[in-house]
Structure 1
Amino acid sequence: METDPPRLTDEQTAAMTRGWEEAVAANPALFDGPTVVCAGLERKDSDTLLLTWYRATYRLYVLRLDPVHAVPAPSVFVTVAQPTDDGRLLVGRMASSTAAPGRWQLPGGTIEPPETDATLDMEALRRHAARELAEEAGHHVAAGDMELWRVTQGDKGNVGVHFRAPACPAEALHEQYTALVGAERAQGRTPELDRIAFIRSVADVAGLGGPSADFLPMLVARHAASRPADHEGGSR
């Protein structure tokens, strides 16, 4: 359900502008695109969650860490759990040009608000998840094949809507990612994921090296618990 954004004071607006300019100076690849911000998440019944959200741009997020002018602005994002046919899970490392360089996570991204006459519903989230998987990993899956898997809310209030795609051979996924990287670099663009890996367990998350998204260990554990017992082996 869409709601109006909070009204910022003049001081908060000035702090947001300064903070965004500093962030862009440190990472010129950042862009002030449209985004969905969580204003509330309520469980209506065992099968229904009501998300209240408002429209903003990425610069609002710099106020989350401002010691004087802080504004709670939880993000709303989707991810895709892409399993392999031997029971592993595809993860990627965010490139240096992104807002979270070096962080390991599932393919995905923050939600963009719909057009004014459109609805932010589950079908829209499925389409967004499918697009993120194609753009970041080069693997194309029909939106209708995205299974809602889990909804999480982190310590900072960020809401993650996690989907699961049909299993695919790891070799095919690696080939598709390699082709995507080549195509992006040929056009002078930097891929959002600078590396991918295939993991089975929470122990494999620790073995990746570098930070990981806060939700990743929990989702990997959930994936591991749902695997058939005969899938064995390590990450690659």
Structure 2
Amino acid sequence: MISKPPGTEARGRFYFISTNKGCKTEIYMYLSAHHSINFADTILKTVHFHFSQTETSFITPVPPLLLPDEEHGMIQEHWQTVNADGRFFNGTVLAGMQIKLENVPSIQISTSDYAHYLYSNANPAATPCRIIYCAAIIITSDNHVLVGEMASSTSAPGRLQFVGGNIELAPDGTVSGEACCKREITEEVGFLFLDKTQEFRPLCIKTGGKADHIGIYYLLRLTITADKAKSAFKDHLAALAAREEMPELVKIHLIELTDVSIKRFCADHDEQLVDYLSPLLTSHLDELLQH
């Protein structure tokens, strides 16, 4: 079993380290339920949260990510295998190259594609495709947090995560995390969730984790209750079905923001949780509750 690193505080299955350099940073080392992992494996799964209410900027123009010809061939072979049924679209994705977290957060990015992203996820030795995504921590007026369950038609069926998706280039070549997050909210749960907004602001940036992707998180407080949110999502699914469109989320979970409810949910769905979900919810409850 891995021993407690010096200078850390044990919290269940996490080791906790905090620093303060420009913005508040929380570092969580996720310990697998399987105690046979070595320390190096654990380090690779470390999740870092950098708290700041300042909007993240992106350095533009955005150059392409250059890959060796041999790797291009391996990516295409992998793509033909995983996309044999044609359910995925090989669109442009933005890969994080460098990130600055002090004062005004900024990210240097390059363009790649979805085939490279899937290949790098399946092959640790591949050139990394460090995806940048946005996510909305949606909280109802009666203090329930919304977690989405991915549909079978997506690349991660059954996975539990916040509403969100990859950051994308706007038609004019600019990049806005806020605009991308609002787009994902509309697509995944419906426009009513933006129409019933009490507060929408940057919360934190996530680095590290199983694939070292970069997450830009926004806090969205609603003026409606959990029951109203469930009803709104049901209406959204019905509207998608009427247009013969596939939903990205098959269902939503609304968990009461209490220590007991959060820990029970995380324990009951441990195998489905995306890497950031449990450490963010269990260790930052005070950040999410409205005071």
The TM-score normalised by the length of structure 2 is 0.70
Q: 2:203 aligns with which of 142, 146, 149?
A: 149
Instruction: For residue 222 of structure 1, report the CA deviation from its aligned partner.
Output: 4.9
1:67-91 superposed Cα distances (whole Å, 9 cap, x missing partner) = 5961111100001011011211011
Structure 1 position 18 matched with structure 2 position 77: yes
CA distance in 1, matches of 2:248, 2:124: 32
CA distance in 2, matches of 1:103, 1:192: 11
Q: 1:48 aligns with which of 104, 107, 129?
A: 104
Unaligned runs of 5+ in 2: 1-58
- Number of aligned residue pairs: give it: 222
CA contact (8 A) 1:130 1:146 kept: no
Match of 1:232 in 2: none
CA contact (8 A) 2:200 2:218 kept: yes
Structure 1 position 190 matched with structure 2 position 246: yes
Match of 1:132 in 2: 184
Q: 2:267 aligns with which of 193, 206, 223?
A: 206
CA contact (8 A) 1:82 1:89 kept: yes
What is the root-mean-square deviation in Å for CA atoms of aligned residues?
Answer: 2.3
CA distance in 1, matches of 2:147, 2:220: 13
Match of 2:277 in 1: 216
CA distance in 2, matches of 1:134, 1:59: 25
CA distance in 2, matches of 1:101, 1:220: 22
One-letter amino acid matched to 1:219: L
Match of 1:8 in 2: 67
Identity among equivalent positions (%) equals 24
Instruction: For residue 189 of structure 1, report the CA deviation from its aligned partner.
Output: 2.0
Evaluate the alpha carbon distance shift between residue 220 and residue 188 of structure 1 in structure 2; reply closer, same or farther with a 3 A threshold.
same
Evaluate the alpha carbon distance shift between residue 218 and residue 209 of structure 1 in structure 2; reply closer, same or farther with a 3 A threshold.
closer
Q: 1:100 aligns with which of 141, 152, 156?
A: 156
Q: Which sits farther off after the overlay, 186-195 or 203-212?
A: 203-212
Structure 1 position 166 matched with structure 2 position 221: yes
CA contact (8 A) 1:11 1:69 kept: no
Q: Which runs of 4+ in 1 moved over 6 A?
A: none
CA contact (8 A) 1:105 1:216 kept: yes
Evaluate the alpha carbon distance shift between residue 54 and residue 228 of structure 1 in structure 2; reply closer, same or farther with a 3 A threshold.
closer
Instruction: For residue 136 of structure 1, report the CA deviation from its aligned partner.
Output: 0.6
One-letter amino acid matched to 1:203: R
1:176-207 superposed Cα distances (whole Å, 9 cap, x missing partner) = 11011111122222210001111132332222
One-letter amino acid matched to 2:214: V
1:79-122 superposed Cα distances (whole Å, 9 cap, x missing partner) = 1011011211011100011111110001000111233x4422xx
Evaluate the alpha carbon distance shift between residue 170 and residue 17 of structure 1 in structure 2; reply closer, same or farther with a 3 A threshold.
same
Which structure carries more strand by proportion? 2
Is the partner of 2:244 in helix, strand or coil? coil
The TM-score normalised by the length of structure 1 is 0.85
CA distance in 2, matches of 1:212, 1:186: 30
One-letter amino acid matched to 1:164: L
One-letter amino acid matched to 2:65: P
CA distance in 2, matches of 1:51, 1:213: 23
Unaligned runs of 5+ in 1: 230-236
